[in-house]
């Protein structure tokens, strides 16, 4: 047996100067990822980070692993190709809310519905940072920016709801002001067999500073963050005085525990195969000014796409013999160009 290797954070740090704006939440996410990888003993040579375009997309430059800086919105598609070719690798996708939900929205939902064994981490700062402050698909209605001087008219996406609607088998949310929570959610994503989607609320202190301060500041977290704990009634507040219950329409609503009683509270079940309840929980908050669920919304098992592809190829080879690529290309509808 080979000697067990112990990793430290520096084993995942490259020689590149980390170039984000001073105070950017991306620094916190990078540190959490590097510390987590060291803790888990993740092998750098068996890990790939794929990104698109944007501030978050610089991530592969700073991780001492394999990395691909792809094109705008296409990171999930590139990562799909990597995972199909090398299903043994740990493949991570990094992108921002603009990159993933605007030009990349189609690639995102199909990677999730197929249940590719990739881990997709979306940095959500509700703004386009790299291109200097235009509103993004998660910006609130009325957001005044360089591209919406009279206020945005667009209804924003709720990224967790989008992922659940695409039948993602793992969906989580965390934020850049709590490293322990970030590491816990990312660890669970890494352990999941299949597609994992993690939204991270991340502050852009230049173009959208304080977007999540009313939610993540230490003095308000108890009343604003709804921690999701498997198998436990969903309650929050400094003394657990508030909770989440279902109304007559099957919608989640915030209630006073002393008024309705603990028995009325919704018990969180992240392993429930039907995503209906997880989706209802995701609708509790439509913007960071409301009490917002954090943690794991869904974690269920379903056949993993790349494993199914490998099985299909093996069965085909066993049935039909070794594949004949030249014969395949020359079969069916062919023509000769003079």
What pLDDT shows up at residue 289?
85
310 occurs within a structural domain: no
Give the dihedral sign, CA 119/53/55/106. Answer: negative
The 10s digit of each residue's pLDDT in 157-176 is: 999 999 999 999 999 999 99
| Cα 183 to Cα 186: distance, rounded to the nearest angstrom | 5
Q: Which domain holds residue 32?
A: 1-211
Domain count, the chain: 1
Considering Cα of 122, then 123, then 126, then 132, what sign does the dihedral take?
A: negative
Q: Give me the pLDDT at residue 322, please.
A: 62
Per-residue confidence (pLDDT) for residue 48, from 0 to 100: 98
Residue 297 covered by a domain? no
Report long-range pairs for 245-251 (Cβ below 8 Å, ≥24 apart).
246/280, 250/276, 250/280, 251/280, 251/283
Within-domain flag for 298: no
pTM to 2 decimal places: 0.93
Q: Is residue 319 situated within a structural domain? A: no
In 118-168, the DSSP E strands lie at 118-124
The pLDDT tens digits of the residues spanning 95-145 come to: 999 999 999 999 999 999 999 999 999 999 999 999 999 999 999 999 999
Q: Is 240 left (phi over 0), alpha (psi -120 to 50) or beta?
A: left
pLDDT of residue 230: 98
Looking at residue 124, its pLDDT comes to 97
- Domain assignment present for residue 160? The answer is yes
Would you state the pLDDT for residue 287? Answer: 84
What is the pLDDT, as a whole number, of residue 338? 76
Residue 288 has what pLDDT? 84
Give the Cα separation of 44 and 38 in Å (integer): 10
Alpha-carbon distance of 266 to 146, in angstroms, equals 42
> Which among 29, 169, 194, 23 is positioned nearest to 95, based on CA atoms?
29
Q: Is residue 157 part of a domain?
A: yes
Q: Which long-range contacts (CB under 8 A, 24 or more apart) does 258-262 make?
A: 262/233, 262/235
Question: What confidence score (pLDDT) does residue 324 get?
Answer: 66
Is 95 part of a structural domain of the chain? Answer: yes
pLDDT lower than 70: segments of the chain = 1-3, 320-325, 328-329
* 255 is a domain residue: no
Phi, psi (degrees; rounded to nearest 5) at 319 = -80, -45
Give me the CATH number covering residue 43: 3.40.50.970
């Amino acid at each position: 047996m080979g000697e067990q290797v112990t990793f430290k954070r520096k084993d995942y740090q490259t020689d590149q100067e980390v170039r984000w704006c001073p105070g950017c939440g991306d620094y916190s996410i990078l540190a959490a990822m590097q510390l987590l990888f060291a803790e888990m003993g993740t092998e750098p040579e068996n890990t790939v980070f794929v990104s698109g375009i944007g501030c978050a997309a610089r991530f592969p430059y700073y991780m001492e692993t394999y990395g691909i800086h792809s094109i705008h919105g296409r990171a999930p598609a590139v990562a799909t190709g990597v995972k199909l070719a090398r299903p043994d690798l740990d493949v991570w996708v990094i992108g921002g809310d603009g990159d993933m939900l605007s030009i990349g929205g189609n690639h995102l939902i199909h990677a999730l519905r197929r249940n590719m064994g990739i881990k997709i981490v979306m940095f959500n700062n509700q703004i386009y940072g790299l291109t200097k402050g235009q509103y993004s698909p998660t910006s609130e209605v009325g957001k005044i920016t360089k591209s919406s001087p009279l206020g945005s008219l667009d209804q924003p996406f709720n990224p967790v709801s989008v992922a659940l609607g695409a039948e993602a088998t793992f969906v989580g949310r965390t934020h850049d002001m709590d490293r322990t929570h970030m590491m816990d959610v990312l660890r669970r994503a890494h352990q999941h067999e299949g597609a994992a989607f993690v939204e991270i609320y991340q502050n852009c202190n230049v173009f959208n500073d304080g977007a999540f301060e009313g939610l993540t500041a230490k003095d308000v977290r108890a009343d604003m963050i709804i921690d999701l704990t498997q198998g436990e009634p969903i309650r929050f507040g400094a003394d657990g005085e508030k909770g989440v219950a279902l109304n007559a329409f099957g919608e989640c609503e915030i209630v006073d525990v002393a008024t309705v009683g603990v028995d009325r509270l919704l018990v969180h079940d992240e392993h429930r195969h039907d995503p209906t309840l997880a989706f209802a929980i995701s609708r509790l908050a439509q913007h960071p000014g409301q009490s917002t669920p954090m943690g794991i919304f869904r974690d269920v098992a379903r056949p993993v796409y790349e494993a199914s592809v490998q099985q299909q190829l093996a069965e085909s080879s066993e049935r039909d013999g070794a594949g004949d690529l030249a014969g395949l290309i020359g079969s069916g509808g062919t023509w000769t160009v003079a």
